[in-house]
Structure 1
Amino acid sequence: MLFIALKLIHLFSIVIWVGGMFFAHFFLRPAVQELEAPVRVKLMRDVLGRFFQVVLILVLLVLISGFGMIGEMHRMAAGAGAKFNMPLSWIVMSALGLIMVAVFGHIRFALYKRLNTAVEAKNWPAGGAALGSIRKWVAFNLALGLVIIAAIRFPLS
């Protein structure tokens, strides 16, 4: 039962995180392109700030639930007198997931800080440049997230 609960938390957290990136990249960003720079940059700073607060929680939930599921599999195998060998698809998902967490950390704690500083200084070109960097890293993280989802559906082992 614990494994099922952990898997549900893991899945919901990833769906919200990856879905939020997809929405921001393909729908929100293009829709605000027509706005004047001060309005666009402030709006994106505010929206991304709210999203990143939630993603911080989601990242913790993904890590805790992911490590928890691996631990549960070890526990169940040991209880049955067997050895647990982690499937290759889990190894790939874990490695890519840790890369996603690191990329998110860079986006949140370096690039978003630049964006916020630019908005506070009313430096719209610097804010636009920060948003451009955020967009590129979000696109990279989104691609990783979609690869992970594909690895779940079509495991390598």
Structure 2
Amino acid sequence: MIGQAVSTFQPVQGVVVLVGIAHSTSGLPGCVQSVATWNLTEVGPGDGGFVCVPGSHKSNFLQHMPRDVARFERGEDWVVQPSMAAGDVLIFTEALIHGTAAWTADHERRTLLYKYSPPHSTWARRPYDPADFPEATDRQRRLMAPPSVEAHPRVMDG
């Protein structure tokens, strides 16, 4: 999994490994989870942060990736760090091989990650407890229902 950020190709504080929950069956890509990464600060060329291998979500590429590349011990031009303006949102599938390079910009990195997955595959250890929100409306309580493959009351009226 993704660990501490390190200098892009000179690990010194831990390891950031490129990861991907990718699979390909009969030549078709599989995708279970998606992420929306909302950048609150600018990310320029070479600043670090999000890196990926474009197109890797369509293959079983990670199993063939050289270990030293996955650990940022050696650079390759097919590992890309996209530049983004503050306010840009990058949407990607967790099947994409991705990771985090050391942040080298002069300003602090601020990014919000919104992860979307099937109801049976939640990241939360504990769902919201509606009792903690006594002022919540009925609709807000329905929105706080824990993830489940079972039927829930409709969130949208009508």
Whether TM exceeds 0.5 here: the answer is no
The TM-score normalised by the length of structure 2 is 0.25
The TM-score normalised by the length of structure 1 is 0.25
